[in-house]
């Protein structure tokens, strides 16, 4: 009963903190994306980069900026890893192998942060700080920048200008991500998260054994790891490691950090389009899906026990930290798989078939409840467009959303967006299962082994980064295949979103009539929720039936 009460209290505290942050943070991000005033430090950045901050770009020009910046970032991070043995604070680490360096570079630049290596034994401090942590800021800022263009597509009329990528990137990084990360890094440091430049330290354990422990600048990286929905851990155990997540307080704080920006972005959307009710509608859909997932996963882990020891422990404690327990582990797992974060405080491979299956399903939703920084909002907006189109077909009217008609061009971009990720997941998992050598990487056979592979490709294509942990993915084939899936899963949807933004911005506004579907009422919330679940269910049900569903029915 005490654990149940504590579980409910932490959920209520989390919801309360997110509610208090929703308005000020959402409005501040909207201000950063709309103001014409440049800060002095921003002007210095523009001069250094040769950027004219007062000019705007077409959707194609904006896309070229996104792709060029991301390509340079991948090349830099790849090279940084390959020469880390010659850098300061390398701790004697060897250069990262070519396939793993490619996988890691694409992973962090695409905001996936999938890790097929142990951080404390592979990366030196300088690579962690100046390579991985920097991309935690920049990849998160790119996601918010892209969703800003989609919002401008709804608000602008008869124009092909959607903003300036370099301005959006700079403002989001300097005005939003850096200040928040600075504050919460200090909070985490005060709460016991490690922050130093120590190398490998030899310590004597309580049992009298000897162990080598690596220190490092963990608190500063931990803050942006969660705020940017990145998820890459300084240590292999990620947020289950006591240096990254030492107490129940830091655990709850990290969950808050990974949710706070994605849940605030609907407010940004409502503010920028001039109708905050639209933001509340999207927030309601996100909240319903998140709450339902928390309830189902927690119930599975509490009650689906497989042994007398499980009953004695009060639930499925395998793979979970005793200091967090069932409730906090399930809450973290749901929140991280419904965002593009990928941080973990428990082993998802050890979850029950029902709990683990729903974690996979959370990512298959496209991580829209609330999703990643920026990517969650533009994902749910694309699905909102589909929901409005479906409603228009039902009543025989040309569908419109926020004063913009949704014709064949707009629906083609929305459809391509929806189809991209499932194609990458299903084709990638199918190829892996067809290759004997890659099947050998599974720690388990049968349905659970397939779930490990399905989880890996779902995580990569949706830029999540968490893993079932049973799959030995540090092989040249998996490093290359998953790296390519991360790239396509990140940038193909961005291409379609930016093209959709341009199509919307070029239209004239459509006046509201008696036949216009209200998109701020509970009716639309229910319609959008239903479309999300049906689209994902029809797409992925056969694969889920071969994995977690089959395992649960054994």
What residues form DSSP beta bridges with 213? 201
51-90 in b/e form (b: 16+ CB < 10 A) is: bebeebbbbebbbebbeebbeebbebbbebbbebeebebb
- Cβ atoms of residues 548 and 354 within 8 Å: yes
Asked if residues 333 and 297 have their Cβ atoms less than 8 Å apart, the reply is: yes
103 Cβ partners below 8 Å, 6+ apart? 114, 116, 479, 480, 482, 483
Distance in angstroms (rounded) separating the CA atoms of residues 504 and 118:
45
Q: Give how far the C-alpha of residue 541 lies from the chain's centroid of Cα atoms, to the nearest Å.
A: 22
- pLDDT at position 526, please? 96
Q: Is the dihedral of CA 519, 523, 526, 531 positive or negative?
A: negative
CA distance 108 to 90: 19
Q: Judge whether residue 315 has pLDDT over 80.
A: no
Distance of CA 516 to the CA centre of its chain: 33
Cα 243 from chain centroid (whole Å) = 23
Read off the pLDDT of each residue in 10-36 and give the average, rounded to a whole number: 97
DSSP bridge pairs for 320: 346
Residue 428 has pLDDT above 70, yes or no: yes
pLDDT tens-digit map of 76-112: 999 999 999 999 988 889 999 999 999 999 999 999 9
Query: 143: Cβ–Cβ under 8 A, 6 or more apart, which residues?
Result: 111, 340, 372, 373, 374, 375
CA dist 314 and 506 (Å) reads: 58
Domain boundaries, the chain: 373-552
Taking residues 24-39, report their average pLDDT.
97
323 close to 403: Cβ distance less than 8 angstroms? no
Per-residue pLDDT at 313 exceeds 50: no
User: To which residue do tokens 């419904």 refer?
Assistant: 338
pLDDT the model gives residue 470:
76
Mean per-residue pLDDT, 483-489? 96
Q: What is the pLDDT of residue 321?
A: 85
Q: How far, in Å, CA of 378 to CA of 149, rounded?
A: 10
Answering whether pTM is above 0.75, one says yes
Tokens representing 18?
Answer: 């997110």
């Amino acid at each position: 009963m005490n654990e149940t009460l504590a579980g409910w209290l932490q959920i209520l505290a989390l919801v309360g903190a997110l509610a208090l942050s929703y308005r000020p943070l959402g409005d501040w991000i909207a201000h950063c994306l709309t103001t014409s005033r440049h800060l002095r430090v921003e002007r210095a950045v523009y001069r250094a980069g040769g950027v004219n901050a007062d000019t705007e770009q077409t959707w194609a020009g904006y896309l070229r900026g996104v792709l060029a910046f991301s390509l340079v970032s991948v090349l830099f991070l790849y090279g940084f890893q390959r020469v880390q043995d010659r850098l300061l604070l390398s701790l004697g680490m060897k250069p990262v192998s070519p396939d793993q360096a490619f996988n890691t570079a694409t992973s962090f630049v695409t905001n996936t942060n999938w890790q097929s290596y142990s951080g404390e034994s592979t990366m030196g401090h300088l690579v962690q700080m100046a390579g991985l942590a920097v991309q935690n800021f920049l990849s998160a800022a790119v996601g918010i920048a892209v969703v800003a263009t989609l919002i401008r597509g709804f608000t602008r009329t008869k124009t092909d200008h959607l903003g300036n990528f370099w301005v959006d990137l700079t403002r989001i990084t300097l005005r939003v991500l850096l200040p928040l990360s600075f504050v919460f890094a200090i909070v985490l440091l005060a709460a016991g998260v490690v922050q130093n430049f120590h190398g490998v330290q030899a310590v004597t354990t309580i049992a009298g054994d000897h162990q080598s422990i690596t220190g490092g600048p963990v608190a500063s990286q931990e803050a942006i790891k969660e705020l940017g929905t990145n998820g890459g851990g300084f240590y292999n155990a990620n947020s289950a490691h006591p240096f990254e997540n030492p107490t129940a307080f830091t655990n709850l704080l990290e969950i808050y950090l990974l949710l706070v920006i994605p849940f605030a972005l609907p407010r940004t959307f409502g503010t920028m389009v001039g109708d905050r009710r639209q933001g509340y509608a999207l927030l309601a859909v996100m909240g319903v899906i998140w709450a339902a997932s928390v309830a189902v996963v927690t119930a599975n882990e509490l009650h689906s026990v497989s042994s007398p020891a499980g009953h004695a422990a009060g639930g499925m404690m395998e793979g979970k930290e005793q200091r967090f327990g069932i409730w906090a582990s399930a809450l973290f797992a749901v929140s991280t798989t419904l965002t593009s974060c990928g941080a973990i405080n428990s082993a998802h491979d050890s979850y029950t078939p029902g709990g683990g299956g729903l974690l996979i399903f959370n990512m298959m939703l496209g991580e829209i409840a609330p999703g990643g920084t920026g990517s969650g909002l533009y994902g749910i907006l694309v699905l909102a467009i589909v929901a409005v189109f479906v409603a228009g077909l039902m009543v025989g009217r040309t569908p419109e959303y926020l004063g913009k008609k949704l014709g064949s061009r707009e629906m083609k971009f929305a459809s391509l967006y929806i189809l991209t990720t499932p194609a990458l997941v299903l084709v990638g998992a199918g190829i892996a299962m067809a290759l004997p050598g890659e099947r050998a990487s599974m720690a388990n056979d049968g349905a659970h082994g397939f779930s490990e592979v399905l989880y890996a490709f779902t995580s990569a294509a949706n830029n999540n980064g968490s893993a079932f942990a049973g799959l030995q993915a540090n092989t040249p084939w998996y490093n290359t295949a998953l790296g390519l899936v991360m790239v396509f899963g990140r940038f193909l949807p961005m291409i379609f979103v930016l093209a959709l933004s341009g199509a919307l911005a070029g239209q004239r506004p459509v006046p509201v009539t008696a036949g216009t579907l209200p998109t701020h009422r509970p009716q639309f919330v229910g319609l959008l929720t239903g479309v999300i679940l049906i689209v994902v269910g029809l797409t992925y049900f056969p694969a889920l039936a071969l994995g977690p569903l089959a395992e649960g029915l054994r």
